[in-house]
Structure 1
């Protein structure tokens, strides 16, 4: 569980509802199912129009990484690459064939298999970089989906507020209910702003961080395998890869 995400949500919603309570506002005034339907339905409806179904499904699947981050251990990557380098230096590149068969990570498995097959280093780089770019492009769709939803949400909130005001203005005969009706109308604006700034945009930012962590891991593997193929000293490879970890 990503504690920062949980704390952020509790802090964000807690600050808004807690501040409203301190001002003497009844919580019932902020609970408006109609406004929620307008804002959430309108926001994600617009986002659905903007993206293909496959990207939408993947975006919702990726939300879990904001709460349950995949384990990306860059130090472990360095350790594994050094083990591969030491083994290859001692017994030759062909000795890594068993590592390719036992590797669980598809990217590492693919990379080691190409090294064992004796592919040209430049071709190896091009192949693995294409793999990284493909991963990045697909993951960017999830980020862009929630960024788009965060952009639509405030505007949909305003639409909800206008609809509420239209309802109020159509019932001007009962002036005793005007104040309450106007207050309810503006709840949609609050929902729109909260959806954008506490949910959608922060989730997009967290997914972007997860993507960068995974891209860095793959780049480290790429550079390590090319160094192994070039027969570089394991100690030098270790220092090179640790530079990536230090920069991160």
Structure 2
């Protein structure tokens, strides 16, 4: 599990609750921030916009992605480079056909797919084309999920403003009734609060985490493609290692031990 995402959601909610209960009245004040009409306008309205912006299948898939920011994915480029160098050494010493047996213990389906293409003697340009198409398709799927959260983040405050206007209109229409001013003002203010929470507590952080995860996966697959094509071209393992390390930030290049597999 991604602890950072989980802690962020919990701490964010805790900060809001803390700000509420520090006033006179303590936890009894929480009831003031629960308003059914505001919830219906803001959450229901923003969801209706999401539904009309997507096909039903995409709408459902977007909700299913709720758990994705909390999942920890094994995306260690250093380990990927080490694995590719190991495969490079096998291919250099025993030939490309020996990679088929070496691929049996690999869990990364993308890497395994690439190895089998290389073993089958597929033209290098075709190997690149197939793997890059796979990469582009993955990015497209990720972008749809990210767009779901970004769109909800945009619609939440917008519907919060709609709720605010509804509350203000009702309040102004009934100024002679002083008992209605408080409830209508509560609707006006709480819809704005709910809309801000939707955008800044959930949607924006979730979209940003999914973007980060996508960038890491793209990096891993790009490393894999370049590494496999270098193996197929028969390049020296040390040259392959240096080539792949160029994709990494300087601090990661230093931490990646050069004795991880590069051999003559």
- Number of aligned positions between the proteins: 248
1:132-169 deviation digits (Å, cap 9, x = unpaired): 01100111000011101111111101112223334444
Distance 1:54 1:106 in 2: 26
Task: Name 2:188's counterpart in structure 1.
Answer: 185
What are the equivalent positions in structure 2 for 1:1-248 lying under 5 Å apart? 1-24=1-24, 26-169=29-172, 171-246=174-249
CA 1:137–1:84: 2 relative to 1, 3 Å: same
Q: TM-score, normalised by structure 1?
A: 0.91
Tell whether the 8 Å contact from 2:150 to 2:204 is kept in structure 1 after alignment. yes
Distance 1:9 1:218 in 2: 30
Tell whether the 8 Å contact from 1:62 to 1:207 is kept in structure 2 after alignment. no
Tell whether the 8 Å contact from 2:171 to 2:184 is kept in structure 1 after alignment. yes
* C-alpha RMSD of the superposition: 2.1
Stretches of structure 2 lacking an aligned partner (at least 5 in a row): 253-264
Tell whether the 8 Å contact from 1:65 to 1:210 is kept in structure 2 after alignment. no
Stretches of structure 1 lacking an aligned partner (at least 5 in a row): none
| Alpha-carbon offset, residue 171 of structure 1 | 4.5
| Alpha-carbon offset, residue 100 of structure 1 | 3.8
CA 1:4–1:107: 2 relative to 1, 3 Å: same
Q: TM-score, normalised by structure 2?
A: 0.85
